[in-house]
Structure 1
Amino acid sequence: MNRLSNGRLIAMQRNLRARMRRTGIALVAAMLCGTVATQAHALNKAAKKQADTVAAMPADAVASVNGVAVTQTQVDEAVRASKAPDTPALRAAMKNQLIARELFRQAALKQHYDTRPQVVAAVEQAKTLAMTQAYLHDQVKPAPVPETDVRARYDAIVAGLGENEYESSAIAVNDADTAKQIIARLRKGEDFGTLARQFSKGPAAMQGGALNWISFKTPIEAGNTQNWPQPLAEALVKLPQGGLTREPIQVGDEYWILRVDDKRATQVPSFDQAKDMLRQQLEQVAMEKATAQVVADLIRSARIQQ
């Protein structure tokens, strides 16, 4: 009887240990399942948040900087403004520049640079400029330039052309002595362009004094000199190719030196070749006239103290 009891006791102990092992494995498995489920939930939440951020970006976004989109339109505008050949490398560089600019903007805003006096003043100036340009765009209405005006301008120019046209260079200074010294140096072989850049106060000084082709109907008549001062026109037509004025030519308070770089028979462009340029010139004149009228109207209605 005791042996049977002992055998049963041993069997019961074995069964108990087996059950405990199975229960322990189940508990560990449950704990593992809970941990995995928690991590999976966190990953799903992060993925959903990322998906929501991507979904919130504009359709043409190429990047996002702390939630602020850099768009394809911005990249396109930057490429056009660069005036460089449109290449994948250029587009990548422009995108990186836009990203850097947005980083700078956000950093400056975070440190309240937007409230600094110089920034506020610059913003106000930009606002004033944009507002003024918009106002002038709406208020200045130049008269249209009809084809007849373009034709009349062409005919007037052609009528004022002479047999020859001249390509010339000029130096203009403020006193006769300096002009005479320059002429002497030119006759000794010094470079005209170098002296023009050094001394000239006249047109195209930084280009060595080189002027465009010009033609005058001879004999020279007042008011028919293509906007040249009459003394200069008269001197130019008397010079041979390569010729240099012997004495300075006085025009108002300035003293001019002329050289004929080239001379040829006048080449008259056809009306079709010249009409676009002439129309632009006449439209510019019309714009200036309309702007002056707007200014005059504003002055009449304003109280200005000086």
Structure 2
Amino acid sequence: MNQRPIAVTFRATLIATLAAAGLVSGMPLAHAANKPSSKPPAEKTVEAATAPLPANAVARVNNVVITQAQLDDAVRASNAPDTPALRASVKNQLIARELFRQAAEKQHYESRPQVVAAVEQARTVAMTAAYLRDQVKPAPVTEADVKAKYDAIVATLGEFEYKPSAIAVKDADTAQTVLTQLKKGTDFAQLAKQYSQGPGAAQGGALNWISFKTPIQPGTTQNWPQPLAEALVKLPQGGVSSAPVQIGDAFWILRVDEKRATQIPQYDQIKDALRKQLEQLALQKATAQVVVDLMKNARIQQQ
């Protein structure tokens, strides 16, 4: 293999490589697959300069081989179209990273406190992740579970669904100021951006479509506070709350932007999303159980 083009393209793209050092954060270090040689440094240097590249190699940096498999992995990690130009660029990044590693190792950077701490943190993260993969056993989600979830959601839907906007403020005086401005014709979205501390404030208070079975019963409000749900269904399309609704320490003003007959998606349209939701809940439940089990035999002190 001709090694001269490697050196030429490396020099030409080194600056770009440095600027894009984080481009392929998952890129494996070239030395990881190679064992250190026991030969003296001078002999290793001569060997590296004269010996042909192994069949599975795309480059060698001093005595460290960069393999075709490492290049393939790095190209995949870039999430970019696999082209000859990309491969040349990524190979140069691998070469640069190996040069950096060797230079840092030569100056004993591995013993610096911040490097030792980073290595320990990475070790802890990898060890914990491996432990959780082995110990957390979420219950499988069946098709019956998904269908039951779908049926339960449909059972909470009413005849109509609403596209609301909301302004939530922290005190009654501010709520009254907002209501006064609305009566004067000030734009609801403008006031939401100015005053609201609730969801959707940056979008003018706009919220997602919601539907409630009426009369509203506890537990059938799609996680909305029941007083808000009751206030919303009493408003006509375009209607605005005549008085703020207090929920805890917040005062809410609602507007119904749109109102229509409830549109229930077909089961096949949303079953995949529901399955993912149930699988996430199962994972959270299983993880919580592992924590509970560990805490039974642990001594934990807190302030």
TM-score using structure 1 length = 0.73
Aligned equivalents of 1:236 and 1:230: distance in 2?
10
Please give the per-residue CA displacement for 1:160-201, whole angstroms capped at 9, x wherever unaligned.
111122223333332222333344445543461x65455443
Deviations along 1:94-130, whole A, 9 cap, x unmatched? Answer: 3333333333333222222222212211221121111
C-alpha displacement at 1:206, in angstroms? 4.5
Task: Give the Cα–Cα distance (whole angstroms) in 2 for the partners of residues 125 and 233 of structure 1.
Answer: 47
Tell me by how many angstroms 1:231 deviates: 1.4
Following superposition, the deviation at residue 139 of structure 1 comes to 0.3
Match of 1:162 in 2: 158
Please list the CA deviations of residues 26-70 of structure 1 after superposition, one character each: whole Å capped at 9, or x if unmatched.
Answer: xxxxxxxxxxxxxxxxxxxx9986563512xx61x4333333344
Q: Answer yes or no: is 1:111 the counterpart of 2:107.
A: yes
The residue type equivalent to 1:52 in the other structure is A
Aligned residues: 257
- SS of the equivalent of 2:256 reads strand
Match of residue 242 from structure 1: 238
Distance 1:49 1:84, change over 3 A: closer
Structure 1 position 226 matched with structure 2 position 222: yes
2:51 matches 1:52: yes
Q: Does 1:145 align with 2:141?
A: yes
Distance 1:196 1:98 in 2: 51
Shift of 1:155: 0.9
**Distance in 2 (alpha carbons) for counterparts of 1:131 and 1:73:** 25
Aligned to 1:290: 286
Aligned residue in 2 for 1:32: none
Is the 8 Å Cα contact of residues 154 and 278 (structure 1) preserved in structure 2? yes
2:62 to 41, 62, 66: 66
Greater gyration radius: 1
The residue aligned with 1:270 is 266
Deviations 1:266-288 (A, max 9, x none): 11112222221111111122111
The structure-2 alpha-carbon separation of the partners of 1:178 and 1:111, relative to structure 1 and needing over 3 Å to count, comes to: farther
Query: 1:68-102: per-residue Cα shift (whole Å, max 9, x none)?
Result: 34444444444444444444444443333333333
Looking at structure 2, the residues matched to 292 and 76 of structure 1 have their Cα atoms a distance apart, in angstroms, of 38
Amino acid at match of 2:90: M
Could you tell me which residue of structure 2 aligns to residue 216 of structure 1?
A: 212
How far residue 289 of structure 1 moved from its aligned partner, in angstroms, is: 1.3
Change (3 A) 1:129 1:171: farther
Quick one: distance in 2 between partners of 1:199 and 1:113?
A: 52
What is the CA-CA distance between 1:228 and the residue it aligns to?
1.1
Output the CA distance in 1 between the equivalents of 2:233 and 2:219. Answer: 16
Alignment CA distance shift 1:246-1:292 (3 Å): same
Which sits farther off after the overlay, 240-249 or 214-223? 240-249
- Which structure 1 residue ranges, 5 or more long, are not aligned? 1-45
Whole-angstrom distance in 1 between the partners of 2:128 and 2:47: 48
Pick aligned residue for 1:189 from 168, 186, 191? 186
Which one of 165, 174, 180 corresponds to residue 178 of structure 1? Answer: 174
2-side partners of 1:195 and 1:103: how far apart?
57
d(CA) in 1 for partners of 2:62 and 2:180?
69
Structure 1, 249-258 or 87-96: larger mean CA deviation: 87-96
TM-aligned CA distance change 1:291 to 1:89, over 3 Å = same
Q: In percent, how many aligned pairs have the same letter?
A: 68
Q: 1:189 to 1:92 in 2, by over 3 A?
A: farther
Secondary structure of the structure 2 residue equivalent to 1:54: coil
The TM-score with structure 2 as length reference comes to 0.73
User: Against the structure 1 CA distance between its residues 246 and 74, is the aligned structure 2 distance closer, same or farther, given a 3 Å change threshold?
Assistant: farther
The answer to whether the Cα contact below 8 Å between 1:172 and 1:254 also exists between their aligned partners in 2 is: yes
Task: Note the alpha carbon deviations across 1:131-184, whole angstroms, 9 max, x for none.
Answer: 111111110101112222211111111111111222233333322223333444
Structure 1 residues 95 and 224: CA distance shift in structure 2, 3 A: same
Aligned residues of 1:53 and 1:67 also touching (Cα < 8 A): no
Question: Matched residue of 1:169: which SS?
Answer: strand
Q: Distance in 2 between matches of 1:80 and 1:259?
A: 49
| Amino acid across the alignment from 1:297 | D
Gaps of 5+ in 2: 1-44
SS at match of 2:51: helix
